[in-house]
Amino acid sequence: MKGSLGRLARIFLTYSIKMTTLLLAVSVISFALVSESPVDPVQQYILGLGTAVSPEQREQIEDYWGVDEPPAERYIHWLSELLQGNLGESLLYRRPVADIIGERFLNSLALMLCAWVLSGGIGFTLGCIMGMYQGQWPDKILKRICYIISSVPTFWLGLVLLLVFSVWLGWFPIGFSSPVGVLEEEVTIWQRLYHLILPAFTLSLLSFVNIALHTRQKLADVLNSEYVLFARARGEGPWTILRRHGLRNILLPAVTLQFASFAELFGGSVLAENVFSYPGLGSAVSAAGLNSDVPLLLGITLFSTLFVCVGNMIANLLYGIIDPQIQEVSL
Amino acid sequence: MEQKKETLLEIHDLSISFRMYHQGLEQKELQVISDLYLTIYPGEIVAVAGSSGSGKSLLASAILGLLPGNATVHGHLHYQGQELTPERQRRLRGREIALVPQSVAYLDPLMKIGPQTDGHEKSRSPERRRQLFARFGLPEETEGLYPFQLSGGMARRVLVSTALLTDARLVIADEPTPGMSLDQALEALGMFREMADEGRAVILITHDIDLAFEFADRVAVFYGGTTVETAPASDFKKGPEALRHPYSKALWSALPQNGFHPIPGFQPYPGDLPEGCLFAPRCPLKTAECTAAVPPVQEIRGGEVRCYHGT
């Protein structure tokens, strides 16, 4: 037990080092890209003020923002603020970036978690069905559906769902995370869930196909293995084989893939949130991009890097817990 | 050999071919087993000997009905006097007919040995398995290990245990002894002997010919996917004069303790089988009729041989 705790600590430490260096690299690259881009934060700031500014005032502002300093100096300045927990202030929302990220992330997390569970559940189940009926009609039909869904863009699918379920059928709200005209404090959890269903479903469509097709292939490999041949020789029927050997052997790759899909999920949430006007990180990042809100953009970039990294780290840690071969070897 | 009336398993004129893609989309039937015969009586161990590629392992799959989908089977398989249909194979395997597979690859890599050995039928208590493991010299903690933690010899003993735990009337053991120490191999074969003496039967597919001769009642010699001879095991101990087929004699002479004398040539490949007798190209007794047609099975001195010149 002590050994495995020590091992966990070691893995954790290695990951922290890796993650820190990655975050540093991402911060350098994104900072450099923003510095080189035609985005002018000063102009944006002034526009946001809503009043006219004299050239002297503008100079003052430029001085305050350090426009004339060399980029390296500005980067170091920004980084040192960042390390103290100051992500700066959003030009668009006029609030600290950290607050916006925190608030938006909760919304996004709810959405992504729902989509993640849905896509994992649906994908794994469909994958198992396809694998069991490989080459037969259930497999053929489901495979076609998977191919169609994976070749359709998410935002378009989102629009279609919105059109059918919200506009024509009126089953679900058109957008937002809570009803319009209701105070934040009065919104119930059911109302939030109700607003979540359609965007979450759209988002899950993005990644369940991947998991389904992958699971199908893995299951097919397992069913062709020698140990399944022996299981059949011992009189095990197809469903017993799935229960005793199939699930056990395909769970690990499916779980890994599921956690690795964090990145896709995050990318997909940008589109889904925009289509459904859902106030999450995804819609914030596109708003920040379109409105040249540099502090918010950089903040979200770093945050999403962290988010995806954590997903991958969880997948790697789970590997060791689920797969006894890896567990024993590393002990 | 005393003639028993009731056979447990009878195989006549068994042929197996695989549909393969030959060149591009052109399909080709690849004949891997041709005109094979084998009869098993209750209470006996029949050793199946022959070089690699002579169709020994395929025979096991054919009896159990576990050939891949692109295989075509012709011929007759009878179990306890009734035809062995695919439906019947499904019902019998694991219960009436048990397999001892070749290697650790036949064990689920992510399942612990204990539950894996017990199998999927819940009624089985671990007690009998523990006794069996003890007899095989497998340490108690083996049941908590995963297959990758076993040595080759341990894995074989576990595989043999899976079959011994069933009440199968017919056990097909595919190379059960390599990797075991002599003592363990003797123990395993001794258990097969006990099973046979209880009225069950064992097909022992093996390369350990010496051990097989010691424990088996009869030996079937396979060559190029067919049976060339079946003979009482005692004939193999007597020497080549007691054997009937020129290949059996050659096999005997090729054993290390009998002089290690190889004969020239090699076993024909599937898809490139000679006309007539499969052994004719290498046979010292070859005549014109050998290459004209496959020789029929003849009974000579209590054994069966597929040769025009069998003695």
Report how far Cα A257 is from the mean position of its chain's Cα atoms: 13
B225-242 residue pLDDT tens? 899 999 999 888 888 888
Tell me the residue type at A26.
Answer: V
User: Among the listed ranges A290-299, B68-77, B187-196, which one has the minimum average pLDDT value?
Assistant: A290-299
Q: Compute how many other C-beta atoms are within 10 angstroms of the C-beta atom of residue B105.
A: 14
Task: Please report which confidence band the pLDDT of residue A330 belongs to, taking 50, 70 and 90 as the band edges.
Answer: very low
| Residue B3: inside a domain | no
With 80 as the cut, is the pLDDT of residue A186 above it? no
- Alpha-carbon distance A161 to B34, whole Å? 61
Task: Please report which confidence band the pLDDT of residue A323 belongs to, taking 50, 70 and 90 as the band edges.
Answer: low
User: Among the listed ranges A111-125, A174-188, A250-264, B239-253, which one has the minimum average pLDDT value?
Assistant: A174-188
Q: Is B219 on the interface with A (CB under 8 A)?
A: no
Query: Residue B305: enclosing H or E segment and its boundaries?
Result: strand B303-305
Provide, rounded to the nearest whole percent, the portion of chain A with pLDDT above 90: 18
Query: Residue B63: enclosing H or E segment and its boundaries?
Result: helix B56-64
| Residue B302: inside a domain | no
| Residue B54: inside a domain | yes
Which long-range contacts link A226-229 to residues 24+ away (Cβ below 8 Å)? A226/B101, A226/B103, A226/B105, A226/B106, A227/B105, A227/B106, A227/B107, A227/B108, A227/B109, A229/B66, A229/B101, A229/B106
Task: Please report which confidence band the pLDDT of residue A326 belongs to, taking 50, 70 and 90 as the band edges.
Answer: low
Provide the CATH number for the domain around residue B212: 3.40.50.300
Q: Which two tokens stand for residue A85?
A: 């927990």
Q: What number is the average pLDDT over the span A151-178?
A: 80
Task: Please report which confidence band the pLDDT of residue B217 belongs to, taking 50, 70 and 90 as the band edges.
Answer: very high
Q: Give the residue among A16, A29, A209 at the shortest CA–CA distance from A123.
A: A209
Does the distance separating the beta carbons of B162 and A325 come in below 8 Å? Answer: no
With 70 as the cut, is the pLDDT of residue B144 above it? yes
Residue B220: C-alpha distances to residues B65, B141, B236, B262 (Å)? 21, 39, 11, 20
In angstroms, what separates the C-alpha of B70 from chain A's closest C-alpha? 13
Residue B167: C-alpha distances to residues A43, A234, A323, B62 (Å)? 86, 12, 33, 21
- Alpha-carbon distance B99 to B84, whole Å? 16
Sign of the torsion angle spanned by Cα atoms A42, A44, A49, A55: positive
A194-235 residue pLDDT tens? 788 888 888 888 788 888 999 999 999 999 999 999 999 999
Q: How many domains does chain B have?
A: 1
With 90 as the cut, is the pLDDT of residue B20 above it? no
By the 8 A CB rule, do A203 and A272 touch? yes
Number of residues that make up chain A: 331
Q: Parse chain A into domains and list their residue ranges.
A: 2-83, 98-330
Q: Which residue reads 């899976």 in tokens?
A: B162
**pLDDT value at position A4?**
66
Q: What number is the average pLDDT over the span A117-121?
A: 90
With 90 as the cut, is the pLDDT of residue A78 above it? no
**pLDDT value at position B28?**
83
Residue A64: C-alpha distances to residues A68, A70, A77, A81 (Å)? 10, 14, 12, 15
By the 8 A CB rule, do B65 and B99 touch? no
Q: What number is the average pLDDT over the span B288-311?
A: 88
B93-119 residue pLDDT tens? 988 999 999 888 899 998 989 988 888
Q: Is B114 on the interface with A (CB under 8 A)?
A: no
Task: Please report which confidence band the pLDDT of residue B26 belongs to, taking 50, 70 and 90 as the band edges.
Answer: confident
Determine the topology of domain A98-330 in CATH: MetI-like fold (1.10.3720)
Q: Which of A233, A248, A328 sits opposite B93 (nearest CB)?
A: A233
A324 neighbourhood in chain B, CB within 8 Å: 110, 146
SS3 B301: coil
- Nearest chain A residue to B144 by CA distance is A324
Q: Which residue reads 């195989």 in tokens?
A: B11
- Alpha-carbon distance B290 to B302, whole Å? 23
Does the distance separating the beta carbons of B94 and A233 come in below 8 Å? Answer: yes
Q: Which of A235, A248, A328 sits opposite B93 (nearest CB)?
A: A235
Mean pLDDT (chain A, rounded): 82
Q: Which two tokens stand for residue A154?
A: 């998410």
**pLDDT value at position A327?**
57
| DSSP designation for B247 | H
- Alpha-carbon distance A41 to A35, whole Å? 10
In angstroms, what separates the C-alpha of B263 from chain A's closest C-alpha? 35
**pLDDT value at position A209?**
87
**pLDDT value at position B4?**
47
Number of residues that make up chain B: 311
By the 8 A CB rule, do B242 and B235 touch? yes
Q: Give the residue among A7, A12, A31, A11 at the shortest CA–CA distance from A302.
A: A31
**pLDDT value at position A174?**
73
- Nearest chain B residue to A247 by CA distance is B110
Does the distance separating the beta carbons of A248 and B110 come in below 8 Å? Answer: yes
User: Among the listed ranges A174-183, A204-213, A245-254, which one has the minimum average pLDDT value?
Assistant: A174-183
Burial class (CB in 10 A: 0-12, 13-18, 19+), B177: buried
Task: Please report which confidence band the pLDDT of residue A151 belongs to, taking 50, 70 and 90 as the band edges.
Answer: confident
With 50 as the cut, is the pLDDT of residue A1 above it? no
**pLDDT value at position B79?**
93
Q: What number is the average pLDDT over the span B71-82?
A: 91
Q: Which of B64, B105, B149 sits opposite A233 (nearest CB)?
A: B64
Residues 6 or more apart whose CB falls under 8 angstroms from that of A296 comprise A90, A91, A92, A93, A97, A100, A284, A285, A288
Q: What number is the average pLDDT over the span A4-18?
A: 80
Q: Is B124 on the interface with A (CB under 8 A)?
A: no
Provide, rounded to the nearest whole percent, the portion of chain B with pLDDT above 70: 98
Q: Which residue reads 């060559």 in tokens?
A: B223
Tell me the residue type at B249.
Answer: K
SS3 B264: coil
Mean pLDDT (chain B, rounded): 87
Q: Is B148 on the interface with A (CB under 8 A)?
A: yes
More confident site: A48 or A60: A60
User: Among the listed ranges A95-99, A240-244, B160-164, which one has the minimum average pLDDT value?
Assistant: A95-99
3-state secondary structure string, chain A? CHHHHHHHHHHHHHHHHHHHHHHHHHHHHHHHHHHHCCCCHHHHHHHHHCCCCCHHHHHHHHHHHCCCCCHHHHHHHHHHHHHCCCCCECCCCCCEHHHHHHHHHHHHHHHHHHHHHHHHHHHHHHHHHHHHCCCCHHHHHHHHHHHHHHHCCHHHHHHHHHHHHHHHCCCCCCCCCCCCCCCHHHCCHHHHHHHHHHHHHHHHHHHHHHHHHHHHHHHHHHHCCHHHHHHHHCCCCHHHHHHHHHHHHHHHHHHHHHHHCHHHHHHHHHHHHHHCCCCCHHHHHHHHHHCCCHHHHHHHHHHHHHHHHHHHHHHHHHHHHHCHHHHHHHC
- Alpha-carbon distance A97 to A103, whole Å? 10
Q: Give the residue among B60, B52, B68 at the shortest CA–CA distance from B9.
A: B60
B119 neighbourhood in chain A, CB within 8 Å: 234
**In the Cβ-directed half-sphere of B269, how many Cα atoms lie within 13 Å?**
2
With 70 as the cut, is the pLDDT of residue A183 above it? no
Q: Which two tokens stand for residue B204?
A: 């022992």
User: Among the listed ranges A243-257, A315-329, B222-236, which one has the minimum average pLDDT value?
Assistant: A315-329
**pLDDT value at position A324?**
65
- Alpha-carbon distance A142 to A126, whole Å? 8
- Alpha-carbon distance B217 to A3, whole Å? 54
The strand order across the sheet containing B27-40 reads B27-40, B9-21, B71-79, B82-83
**Residue B189: which domain range?**
9-96+168-241
Does the distance separating the beta carbons of B107 and A248 come in below 8 Å? Answer: no
